[in-house]
A and B are shown apart, each in its own frame.
Chain A
């Protein structure tokens, strides 16, 4: 059953220029769905549109049977959708704990639940417990990325939108980030992953879409892509 359906969506930042040009895709519940493609294909724009930062000019975005293409980000968040943008999406002047509390914002009225959420986040990311009273500005790039992911996973989202989780990270840290994503999938979190790291995207995804020019060029289960990694990487680099 599809948790998310994107149906013929067209969207863009400037009037008359569509970055997404009638794109359609489905994300099955409990799966990791990978989106790969060259720079400028519209991958990040797709996530921003799903999360409500951009409202599509046409088409529908359906989450759990409910149309959300006109919803604001905080409304989409309340439906159980979380979004990890590119880079370290943390608040540098707030402490690690305050960042995580912000992650649990939608549950703020249930203090006991918030405390349990924080405890689980610290169990999953032990390094963050050590630094919970430190300002986020003192974290390394890898730690900041962990915090960015932790504050989204803390609420146990139904659907997690992740944009370029390994961008700018050392291979060891990047490996840990993907391990946390795989763990989240095992707990039942559905993941829509946009990635330039094609090898990793193919490794962790159950189903993949290749997009280019705001449209789906190719799609299929992981097995269809695993044998053609070299071609995929070449096409992605050349934008072909």
Chain B
């Protein structure tokens, strides 16, 4: 069996294993899970770009907004089916990502971050002031994908999308392209001496991550039923960064784990208001300083220590002593 088919099988097993969850949770908790899964897609996409390719973009949330507004406006104004709107939103985000990537991916580090941040703010302001088209802060109503605002069908949709994003990310990272992306991150000049067209592959990662965000944003728009420029604020980008770093930057399991952990924690601390962001910032500083591998590294270390003490179960789980 090829690695791809094995991974598809794993994703199907995971889907089946998690399908019962909304049957035993309340509407509110199912909604929290849907939003968590939305963030899983965003976090996986940003990790591909920042974690594996080393390109620190601050416009990832904007691509979710571009996907959402494109889809909503086309469905509302042109009367196209919702799925066609989502495809159109993804294509527009990919084209914008291609253009923005072409302009700014020759820049390094802080300049790339500043340029993408400026782009993100420009788009947010544009959406806010062009209220005749976008309705600005008044909010743009969008039709529901399943004709209902109830969370359960969207849970199944977003679970499938999140697993598809993980599968796509896994395939890319584990392929030769993944090795080239990591090479660019480690030493761009050395990658160029290898004959790797570093700019082309950085742009590839930028466009792919923009598409992940656009798909998530477009479907989320047709779940919430109302779009506004608020999720295009920098806070949203900061949340994605916090999720990836807390979960484990440059790890496969870190972003989904971090996304669910931070979203659930955020809901638990909702009464704290914006103070939550300060708490999350402290959490990120603590993770970076004390445990850069994040939650996934913590679980891995714990598993490696506990596993060998479970003589029969440990080997079956593939756990080994840290020294092995």
Contact = CB atoms under 8 A, between A and B. Distances in A.
Interface of A: 51, 53, 72-74, 77-78, 82-85, 89-94, 98, 101-103, 105-106, 108, 151-152, 155
Contacts of A85: 189-190, 193
Contacts of B198: 74
A75 B95 CA distance: 25
Contact of B183 (A51, A78, A91, A108): A91
Among A72, A90, A105, chain B packs the most CB atoms within 10 A around the CB of: A105
Given A91-B191, A94-B183, 5 more contacts: A72-B197, A77-B195, A83-B193, A85-B193, A102-B180
Contacts of A77: 193-195
B196 A51 contact: no
10 contacts: A74-B196, A77-B193, A78-B195, A89-B187, A89-B193, A90-B190, A92-B186, A102-B179, A102-B196, A103-B194
Nearest to A79: B195
B53 to A, nearest CB: 13
B318 to A, nearest CB: 17
B192 A102 contact: no
A94 B194 contact: no
Contacts of B179: 94, 98, 101-102
Contacts of B180: 102, 105
Nearest to A102: B194
B176 interface: yes
Interface residues of B, number: 17
Given A94-B183, A106-B195, A101 B176 contact: yes
A91 B197 contact: no
Interface string B180-212: 101100110111111111100000000000000
A73 B184 CA distance: 14
B188 to A, nearest CB: 10
A105 B182 contact: no
A45 to B, nearest CB: 14
Contacts of B194: 77, 102-103, 105, 151
A74 B196 CA distance: 6
Given A72-B197, A108-B176, A151-B194, A102 B183 contact: yes
A93 B192 contact: no
A72 B192 CA distance: 9
A82 to B, nearest CB: 7
B182 A74 contact: no
Contacts of B187: 89, 91
A101 B198 CA distance: 16
Contacts of B176: 101, 108
Contacts of B195: 73-74, 77-78, 105-106, 155
Contacts of B192: 53, 72-74
Contacts of A72: 192, 197
Interface string B64-79: 0000000000000000
Contacts of A73: 192-193, 195
